[in-house]
Amino acid sequence: MNRQRIPLHHPLRWFDEWRLPPLSAGRLLARQRRQLAALDEHALKDLGLSRADVEAEISRPFWDDPQGRG
């Protein structure tokens, strides 16, 4: 994506620096977190996760992407 930079003196400069992931990435992440929350204890154990790990992950906002997508 070729984005034009906003000049330093522009009032919206802060918005260009603080970028949210694209909507599709946010939707994907939200869906993955819902699927993770739906797993039973046996499936979580297979993945090496605890219910506390899942609760911590699903409580994160959609723009908080640990893999940096977007």
Q: Evaluate whether residue 43 is within a structural domain.
A: yes
pLDDT tens digit sequence for 16-61: 445 555 567 788 888 899 999 999 999 999 999 999 999 999 999 8
pLDDT of residue 35: 94
Q: Quote the CA–CA distance of 50 and 41 in Å, as a whole number.
A: 8
pLDDT tens digit sequence for 23-32: 677 888 888 9
Domain count, the chain: 1
Q: Evaluate whether residue 29 is within a structural domain.
A: yes
Q: Quote the CA–CA distance of 13 and 32 in Å, as a whole number.
A: 32
Q: pLDDT band for position 62 (50/70/90)?
A: confident
Domain that holds residue 28: 23-58
Q: Evaluate whether residue 52 is within a structural domain.
A: yes
Q: Evaluate whether residue 17 is within a structural domain.
A: no
Q: What is the dihedral of CA 23, 24, 25, 29, to 10 degrees?
A: 100
- What's the pTM? 0.61
10 CB-side CA count, 13 A: 11
In the chain, alpha helices (H): 13-17, 23-38, 41-47, 51-58
Q: Evaluate whether residue 44 is within a structural domain.
A: yes
pLDDT of residue 67: 73
